[in-house]
Structure 1
Amino acid sequence: MFLLTDPLYAFVLAGLFSPGPNVILITSSGARFGFKATLPHVLGVVVGVGITAGLTALGIGALLLAAPALEWGLKLIAGGWITYMAYKLAMAKPSATPNPDERPFTFVQAILFQWVNPKVWAVALAASAGFASNLPPLQEALRIGSAFSGTNFFVCLFWSAAGTLLAYLLQTPTAWRVFNLVMAAALLASAVMVFLS
């Protein structure tokens, strides 16, 4: 009942459900590799988002905002990594059977990606500032982190399943090529947004 009445969860759901790097990558992975193969990616995102949000609630986010050089460095890493992933997606084999060297994110890669995912930082900063409670710092970090992880688990499962179902519509190499290019363009747009935020 508490979860249904706490506005933090609605805010986190709205922030994480909308398209961003995680949604784009998980949807694409579901389509290209299938639901089961995408689960380590999903679980890594869930854990990584929770850690990032919890650390933000402890003040790491405020530190980034207070240190412009550190924030700029994080933006460069994020923009570069997301651009590289967009390139790889655009160049991916246009079929339902990816090249043997193409694999979905591992659990650890998905966790690490959250450290440079600008959307997660932005939503976590807003949640920490707008939905803080009177709890001690560690309990507040656990509250925010668990809200992000719990909510994002269902968000990631939804988008992974949506990608898996979408694969049934992608019956030709041309359809796959268009899908890969659209997902790569969306990912590249999110890389550009890193520098506009």
Structure 2
Amino acid sequence: MELPPAFLLFVISAAFTPGPNNIMIMSSGLNFGTRASLPHFFGICFGFPTMFLAVGFGLGYLFEKYALLHSLIQIAGVLYLFYLAWLIARAAPTKLERHRAAPLSFAQAALFQWVNPKAWIMGTSAIAAYTTVGANVNLQILAMALLFWLMTFPSAGVWLFFGIALKRLLGDPQRQKYFNVAMALLLVGSVIPIVIDLLQAHLG
């Protein structure tokens, strides 16, 4: 099945922008090196898609049973995405501190996804905004999880392997501001088609 192109923009912007996972894996790479950080890296790569599937299958059942609920959550998801874009655009320069004695294990990184606010926003907003009632919602969720899984490797990998370079690049407040604004605009751009569809469905 095909996912809307806007969803790919959403996945790219959400995966590569600064967040708890990316900042933590970059800090781990800087403090403990690549090899010691690999369990943390794979914990992110497998932990988030697993959480996404668990949440998605539950929401998928509700969407099929209550179509109106899908529209309401879709609107809430769009509002969350705009709010996330606003937070990204206003984000202050990141300051990393070497405060942990050891890198996270695979299990710790995977379980962290369940308390990661960005992961929850990404997952619930994506399901609400980009699934389509009338189609096989579970199949859509599987396809979305696969795309998230594929994108997690390069996004977490960039922050791990190029952590020092990224830290220097984003260390200048003005450069980080440009980066954050660009990511925020990309995130907003991914939401516009959903807003248009909602307006057409309810006002058309």
Give the TM-score, by structure 1 length. 0.56
C-alpha deviation, 1:14, in angstroms: 9.1
Tell me if 1:49 matches 2:52.
Answer: yes
C-alpha deviation, 1:120, in angstroms: 4.9
C-alpha deviation, 1:92, in angstroms: 1.3
The change in CA–CA distance for 1:116 and 1:28 in structure 2 (over 3 A counts) is: same
Residue matched to 2:121: 113
Residue matched to 2:61: 58
2:68 is aligned with what amino acid? L
- Whole-angstrom CA distance in 1 between matches of 2:14 and 2:122: 10
C-alpha deviation, 1:161, in angstroms: 0.8
The change in CA–CA distance for 1:153 and 1:192 in structure 2 (over 3 A counts) is: closer
Q: Report how many aligned residue pairs link the two structures.
A: 169
- Whole-angstrom CA distance in 2 between matches of 1:11 and 1:74: 17
Residue matched to 1:166: 162
Residue matched to 1:135: none
- Whole-angstrom CA distance in 1 between matches of 2:129 and 2:166: 33
Give the TM-score, by structure 2 length. 0.55
2:14 is aligned with what amino acid? P
Give 1:143-162 correspondences, 5 Å limit.
143-162=139-158
- Whole-angstrom CA distance in 1 between matches of 2:89 and 2:14: 10
- Whole-angstrom CA distance in 2 between matches of 1:14 and 1:66: 18
- Whole-angstrom CA distance in 2 between matches of 1:13 and 1:160: 22
C-alpha deviation, 1:100, in angstroms: 5.7
The change in CA–CA distance for 1:19 and 1:151 in structure 2 (over 3 A counts) is: closer
Give 1:1-197 correspondences, 5 Å limit.
8=1, 11=3, 15-16=7-8, 19-25=12-18, 28-29=22-23, 30-34=25-29, 36=38, 37=40, 39-51=42-54, 53-55=56-58, 57-58=60-61, 60=63, 62-64=67-69, 66-67=71-72, 71-88=74-91, 90-93=92-95, 98-99=96-97, 106-108=112-114, 109=116, 110-117=118-125, 119-125=126-132, 132=136, 141=138, 143-170=139-166, 172=168, 175-177=170-172, 180-190=176-186, 192-193=188-189, 196=192, 197=195
- Identity, % of aligned pairs? 10
C-alpha deviation, 1:53, in angstroms: 4.2
C-alpha deviation, 1:159, in angstroms: 1.4
- Whole-angstrom CA distance in 1 between matches of 2:78 and 2:150: 28
1:114 is aligned with what amino acid? M
Residues 22-53 of structure 1, C-alpha deviations (whole Å, 9 max, x = no match): 33246953545546445554444313432454
C-alpha deviation, 1:160, in angstroms: 0.8
* Structure 2 unaligned spans of 5+: 30-36, 100-108, 196-204
RMSD: 4.4
1:112 is aligned with what amino acid? W
- Whole-angstrom CA distance in 2 between matches of 1:12 and 1:51: 22
C-alpha deviation, 1:156, in angstroms: 0.4
